[in-house]
Amino acid sequence: MTDDRPFDIVSTDAIREGRATDAYFERTVEALDHAGKNPHVVAEVTADQFPTGEFEVLAGVEDLAHLLEGYDVDVDALPEGQLFDGGPVARVEGSYMEFCRLETALLGFLSHASGIASRALEARMAAPDSTVLSFGSRHVHPSLGAVVERAALVGGLDGISNVAAGEVIGREAGGTMPHALLLCFGRGNQEQGWRAFDEGVDPEVPRVALCDTFGDEVEEVIRAVETIEDIDSVRLDTTSSRRGDFRHIVREVRWELDARGHENVDVFASGGLGPEQLRHLRDVADGFGVGGYVSNADPIDFALDIVEVDGEAISKRGKLSGVKDVYRTPDGRHHVGLADQPGPVDGESLLEPLLRSGEVVREFDIDAAARRARQDADVVGFASE
Ligand SMILES: O=P(O)(O)OC[C@H]1O[C@H](OP(=O)(O)OP(=O)(O)O)[C@H](O)[C@@H]1O
């Protein structure tokens, strides 16, 4: 660690310049240069060669565009938020040495964001009518905060918690109080903590009281609603060692709130939740904070493979040669075919221009991507495991 490099973060310049690369691509450039060879190639990004019937969400497309911007390449890609299933999600065409060194970062951008967005969509579909917030940036390296939050939104989550990530992606982070706030006032003094929040925090911020720090959830909820006059919600983050039947705890809280005329106070749940727990709680809780299930997603195993060299179809074994298109057919399935042959009848071709001669020719919109993912999920019958 040095003063001018306080964190282990690869710089934006290094990524743009192709230095965030596996070293063998530098050797490749040196070898091709030595041989005076720089073929015109088409390369495709795929996770599976053929459709499998299992869909995932494409994210990271804006980063892909900015990575390749200024390089003399043409790129086509699926729209962000599109569900994909086999075949190319992106296609790069140009002189090989123009983009050879960018492959490592290119795959990383798509793989990581798409894995997170796919998990987010699973959570979204597990509780389609509930508010589901992204709480997971604490689990990842801080340099990835915006990656996590953006992909979580593309996958359909309703809000984010990471402040700096929000500044990067143009969203305001939400959040109310951690246990730390209540601990600062000491055991048994939760009212002081809730009141300090109510009096000290911007009135625009929803009044959500965390109710599990020292005592029974129902007891703390009753005390919280008696302390904060215009309380919006209570949050139960019951620690796993005390959880027992979390659904019963949430129902009991709901019952006691209603019994006291607090039907308008919502109940939020958080802590180690994934799709299974959301399905189990969605009819009794109003909303959820989901962290690790989304942020700790495995990256999608994308690869970039050359499929055409100087106009000739080619591939390494195990991969399919030739430039391809991918289609959505009316039954919601995907079809992969050669681009110079007719696609399936009524098939919708999904790859769209992203860059032409290094210029970005697409606009990016997180909300549109999220709508696409949600609509697509209904079309293809996407469900969480
Ligand atoms: O479990 P995840 O789904 O990854 O969710 C992330 C965290 O969000 C909640 O933290 P909270 O701020 O309530 O806990 P703390 O105040 O104790 O840090 C919850 O306790 C989880 O630890």
Distance of CA 272 to the CA centre of its chain: 17
What H or E segment, with its residue span, contains residue 353?
A: strand 352-356
pLDDT of the residue at 2? 55
Domain termination site, one of 278, 295, 312: 295
Q: Flag whether 359 is in a domain.
A: yes
- Taking only Cα atoms into account, the Rg of the chain, rounded to an integer number of angstroms, comes to 24
Pocket test for ligand 1, best of 185, 237, 243 (most atoms within 8 A of CB): 237
Q: Which residue type is seen at 237?
A: D
Residue 160 lies in a domain: no
What is the arithmetic mean of pLDDT over 201-222? Answer: 97
* Interface pTM, i.e. ipTM: 0.95
pLDDT tens for each residue of 312-371: 999 999 999 999 999 999 999 999 999 999 999 999 999 999 999 999 999 999 999 999
* CATH code of the domain in which 266 resides: 3.20.20.70
Tens digit of each residue's pLDDT (9 = 90 or more) over 236-282: 999 999 999 999 999 999 999 999 999 999 999 999 999 999 999 99
Does ligand 1 have an atom closer than 6 angstroms to the CB of 287?
no
CB atoms within 10 A of CB 122: 26
DSSP 292-338: HHHHTPPPP--EEEEEEETTEE---TTS--S-EEEEE-TTS-EEEEE
271 Cα: distance to centroid of ligand 1 (angstroms): 5
36: confidence class by pLDDT, cuts 50, 70, 90: very high
Output the pTM of the full model.
0.96
Residue 163 main-chain phi, psi, to 5 deg: -65, -50
- Whether 289 lines ligand 1, by a CB cut-off of 6 Å, is yes
Number of domains present in the structure of the chain: 2
CA of 344 to the centre of ligand 1 (A): 48
Are 117 and 78 in contact by the 8 Å Cβ rule? The answer is no
| Mutation choice for ligand 1 from 122, 134, 135, 235, CB with most ligand atoms inside 8 A | 135
pLDDT in the model for residue 90: 98
Average pLDDT over residues 194-205: 97
CATH number at residue 17: 3.20.140.10
174 lines ligand 1 (CB under 6 A): no
Question: Which of 229, 264, 295 finishes a domain?
Answer: 295
Full domain range(s) for residue 20:
12-116+298-380
Residue 163 falls within a domain, yes or no? no
